Copies of this chain bind each other. A is one copy, B any other.
Amino acid sequence: MTMDRKNYMRVVFPAKSENESLARILASSMAAQLDPTLEEISDLRTAVSEAVTNCIIHGYKEDSSKEIEMICELYDNYIVVTVADQGCGIADVQLARKPLYTTDPENERSGMGFTIMESFSDELDVESAVNKGTKVRIKKIFHSLGKG
């Protein structure tokens, strides 16, 4: 069954760490139009925060002249948030998604970003190409709404 997209938003902002919280506000404000639970909103905020942080730290190595694109798409009972950079890309996505795997332990990265995105969402797709960029697609179903 296909569902109609009820609302959406395409946002572009520079890869500055201030915008991690902005990205969370954007995604959760759009999700709030469906009236999900606070817990579901928390899950989404965390997943989006991980994705945006990864673009800033890993994709662009903190070069804030670069841009991140975020798309939020709202359906009957779920949201899809896509976060994309045009940064360094990931050579081995399967390896990168493993718990505790990180290329940046000096900055106290835990390697848990993808694991958290996965466990706080219902579907996680990662598309990446070296020197082209990375696109992460987070689908969060609001089971509390009991539809579909």
Q: Which residues of A contact B (CB under 8 A)?
A: 7-14, 16, 18-19, 21-22, 25-26, 29-30, 33
Contacts and interface: CB of A to CB of B under 8 A. Distances in A.
A25 B22 contact: no
A30 B26 CA distance: 11
A29 B18 contact: no
Contacts of A18: 7, 33
Contacts of A13: 7-10
Given A25-B29, A30-B22, A33-B18, A10 B7 contact: no
Contact of A9 (B12, B29, B33): B12
Query: Which 4 residue pairs of A and B lie closest in terms of their CB atoms, listed nearest first?
Result: A10-B12, A9-B13, A11-B11, A25-B29
